[in-house]
Amino acid sequence: MKAINLDNIFEISKRNTIEAQRLASDCANLVTLPESSSPIPLKGFLSRIVSKFRFKPSNNQSITSSEFFHLKNAARQYIQLLADNDILAMEAIISVKNQIEYRLNYLAEKQEKTVKQLHDIVLKINHKFEDMQHRIEKLEETTALHSWIITIEEYGYSILPEQIRMLRIIHDFRSLKQDELTNNDIRCFKNALRRVQINPDKKTTIKNFIENLTSSNYPNKYTEEISKYTLLEIIDPQKVVDNISQPITSAILLFAESYAKNAQAVKVISDSYHNIPEKEAIAKIILENISTNGIDVHAEIENAHLALEIFTGLKLSLYFGNKKGLKCTNKSCGSNTISHTPGYCSQCGQYLQPIL
């Protein structure tokens, strides 16, 4: 089989980093899937990858195991290409790295070569991140961000339980900083976490995070806040599940939605686990949902990396899971077209923005 030529998609990715970010997430999903000896149905993220890579499978319902292997190699190269060329912002690359890390434990030992290759990617990204954090750069105009951090004690973060505090920090940070993060922004972000008593370097697990989130929210203490911080008014969780590969973000959104919709529904699902307390049952259901996606919920990860992943996930969700869609915001353009895929305005060429 001829190697898949990534030149074209690489050129597109440079121009459309939101698309690139989604594709990178899909690829992270693919590279960690186990080999299969039977044909794999062509749907969801796999069909997205096939179409973006302009790959022509022998059958359009499924792909053979050798085509699968072939695609996996291309997916790995694609991630490597994005990481090496600084196409994606650091927070987006961190989120791809997390995705790979969560799944490494699931890969069978006989796939030693794959595991090694993936470990190399993870290591490289980690080094890059560390290196970046130590680089001194010219101070930019980040007045709003700085004044927020300096006065952070005044915003009432301390009364919130840690996981909800983290969601709020992500939310507030996002409202101050909508474009890609610079090194300095990431330092500010870590500093903000530290100032509200969340140690950014401390390791946590998804299991821990979800369990604590559920238990702090029980029975419905912070449902409204969680909905607000996860932008539930604008984002449709089901669209996120269908359109992007971000299990943690999807899980938090689905969690927020089911709580917000109906506290009773939560009670009903928890009834299916008779012997354990309701709040534990809720956490169990969410964690099972995440595990279904092949995520190792016990994998350890720094608080800052988890927070950055949620930050990126919500940003992607605004573009791919937006209830209202995307439009041109250029006042002198006047185009009223609403799109549901990120891209450029056909009239003036401006990048389309989520409708808030």
Which residues here bind Zn ion, judged by CB under 5 A? Answer: 328, 330, 333, 335, 345, 347-348, 350
Shortest distance, CB of residue 177 to Zn ion, whole angstroms?
24
Nearer to Zn ion, 12 or 348 (CB): 348
CB of 325 to Zn ion, least distance (A): 14
To Zn ion, the closest distance from the beta carbon of 333 in angstroms equals 3
CB 269 within 8 A of CB 282: yes
Strands of the chain, DSSP E? 40-41, 62-63, 203-205, 300-302, 326-327, 353-354
| Closer by beta carbon to Zn ion, 241 or else 328 | 328
CB of residue 332 to Zn ion, shortest distance in Å: 9
- Distance of closest approach, residue 351 Cβ to Zn ion, in angstroms: 10
Cβ atoms of 30 and 46 within 8 Å: the answer is yes
Give alpha helix (H) positions in 16-64.
Answer: 17-31, 44-52
Q: Nearer to Zn ion by C-beta: 10 or 351? A: 351
* 157 token code pair: 């973060």
Q: Which is nearer to Zn ion, 15 or 127 (CB)?
A: 15
For residue 321, the minimal CB distance to Zn ion (Å) is 23
Residues 6+ apart with CB under 8 A from 88: 17, 20, 21, 24, 82, 96
Question: Toward Zn ion, which CB reaches closer, 184 or 329?
Answer: 329
Q: Which amino acid is at 289?
A: N
C-alpha torsion 275→279→283→288, nearest 10: 30
Q: Which amino acid is at 136?
A: I
Closer residue to Zn ion (CB): 314 or 352: 352
Longest CA pairwise span in the chain (Å):
62
Q: Which two tokens stand for residue 354?
A: 């989520």
